[in-house]
Amino acid sequence: MSEFPLLNAILYTGAGIITFAVAFAILAKVAPFDVWREIAQERNLAAAILAGAVALGLCWIIAATLH
């Protein structure tokens, strides 16, 4: 952590976004179905809610960790 608050914010934001992207990519690989095909082509509302819930959960964990 540096003495520059703006630099700290940029570094933590970057770390959070990278962590979120990696975790969500792992979710997409581990899921027993193609998440994006189910949401975009099949219009599967349950898959969209699952993806959104996982995204929110990951964001809360990352925010609590980086805070």
The residue range of the domain holding 10 is: 5-66
What was the pLDDT predicted at 28? 86
Name the domain count of the chain: 1
Rounded Cα distance between 63 and 49, Å, is 21
Q: How far is CA 46 from CA 34, 62, 63, in A?
A: 13, 24, 26
Q: Which whole number is the average pLDDT over 57-66?
A: 82
Name the pLDDT band for 1 (thresholds 50, 70, 90): low
Rounded Cα distance between 67 and 64, Å, is 5
Which structure tokens are listed for 54?
A: 């996982």
Rounded Cα distance between 23 and 4, Å, is 29
Q: What is the pLDDT of residues 7-43, one digit of tens each?
A: 888 888 888 889 889 988 998 899 888 988 999 999 9
